[in-house]
Structure 1
């Protein structure tokens, strides 16, 4: 069974052009970003609209490869291909973009982008542990604030920052409630629909209206849960998907898992719930609290990244998972290495089995992936 409220979230992308036009007429400006390390509170406090830039389609990759090595990860090549061809509306309409040093490939991509797009690149510490790393990252968030003020001609007061913190904390809470509904057996919402809801947020320039639709969806799902209704049957194998960012256009693994009859009950990755795990502490100094929240992101660029291991251990228990599928883009070395670390951790914990799928945006390996998923689910069902 599928919730009726999904109609709104599926159609959100079709309203982008009119939404941008309306926002422009209201005097709004856009600031683009690729990674969830970009402190969105600063953009909102400046009266601008934060937008996630295009990076999940296969078509622009050929253009990206004219300037980038073919063995780069598809996310970077797609991002750059969109940028240089002018086929990303958000990129075109952004006053500037906020980049970040989460990997060497992205660093070089932003170096090239800066030649034709105003760019602010945040230096990410290589570890989230330690006072020196914390203070360094706080200084980067202050630098980001200064850049936003200069480029948009605004002043970010504590009052504006706290208002933005409250707004985004409210949305994070709703996203966590949405995800937590899938602790139920059967899971009321499919993994594909979870992805579409999170993806629709990229096209929602009115956060209050989006949050209201989110509440309506949550209310419908709780009613489904009370009636024992789910997206798939009660006996479906329950799978957590983790790994690299997986947006609409690059969702083939999630789709194949559910086509094989399993239920994707949680999306841990960056484009999923990773960005909604923590709120910003409203009682601390706003800039410090914003910085501290983003530094808690359990990204594979951090070394060590024990937060992700601990998180997945908890998620397996909370969501009654039967297995974990770890998606790795070809050329993404940090997530590829960490997949081995994650597998060893789960084995040591006596937890659920892990299937790593290393792939790209193409459809050429779909049959092979389907076979591996079906074999994995058969193994899981025998446990």
Structure 2
């Protein structure tokens, strides 16, 4: 490392808090001490969508630190520094320096070699970096296939599937094929869930959400993560603008254990952007007449957000609905407020 560090003119490279002339010292110190870790984070990470030229230059040295068994707290470095850099680099934002993508691609052989590390924590950290860093999956997928056949740690096996869903969620058809061909034992329900969430059985395109097997999704929801965490991940796959996934959310509205989460998702979605609210407005009459107060309250709220004046009479009728939601919100009070907005 020492000789390779000398070959780089760090005085000409900018980090996130100025020039990177201190980086060689910090990287060398990190081989034997945790003291420079926080300072390395300050120099090498900025906003979540920024990667500096100094960070791209330092990347191979960070991986060398992580690979060395004597590096103190290397799992911390992998998670809190390398992971943060990979997330920023994979954002595709303007703040990512042009030197980052080739630096990350060049590092993939070193990253993939760490998949054979004896520490499951290191293997999982590397998988996170591979998934978040984007780039070409050509080298990654064969290595993950081999690792899948050899891996015995359940959490790491799940991470293997998560990495491929990251690639698949960006439209990588090779990743979609990998998931479809993956043989997942019945005893790994979360892995089966994510495979189903990331693939469509009826098309050759990726859908960020589950349309393939809702039954599997619901059956898996009570597994160790808890259905709220499972739903959070799948709705992340759906994404705020991938409205093909709206079928999933609307299906979950009909399933009692998932109803609150699905309605919360719709509320957050349309609070941000009402452009496509018309996709769900036709459900207002059905929801407004439902015995479940959550649906009645949501229907009234939706009329207000969508300015759907054709349903003013339904809102006026809800003024006499004195039921209270789990949040302590009276349907009648909400209806009165929406009526004022519609006038």
Establish whether TM, by shorter chain, passes 0.5. Answer: no
Scaled by the length of structure 1, the TM-score of the pair is 0.25
Q: Which has the larger radius of gyration?
A: 2
More strand by percentage: 1
Higher relative contact order (CA 8 A, sep 6+): 1
